[in-house]
Amino acid sequence: MKATHSFLTFPTKRNTTGVVGVCKTVNTVNGKKFPCYVVTYFDDDDKLRKKKFHFKSKAESEVFQEAVAFRKKYEQKLLREYLNSW
């Protein structure tokens, strides 16, 4: 993974979750709507990726915490790689 992407320190005004890279949205499949949280990140090939966390069998707050943990883990990995490149 290339450490070429910077992260915002604070969420923008449009952010509704309060966490950079995590948003709440609705996923539509076959006309049915499923609420979920989406985490955006860049993969090893520098392509923008999105990982969805659905509220199917868990509470919304629990799913939100999972999404935030995934994003933070990704940021920590990227930071380690950036620091090791010096």
pLDDT in tens, 66-82: 999 999 998 888 888 87
In this predicted structure, what is the pLDDT of residue 8? 64
In this predicted structure, what is the pLDDT of residue 62? 95
In this predicted structure, what is the pLDDT of residue 5? 55
Distances (CA, A) of 41 to 9, 27, 57: 15, 18, 25
pLDDT in tens, 10-68: 777 788 898 988 999 998 989 999 999 999 988 888 899 999 999 888 899 999 999 99
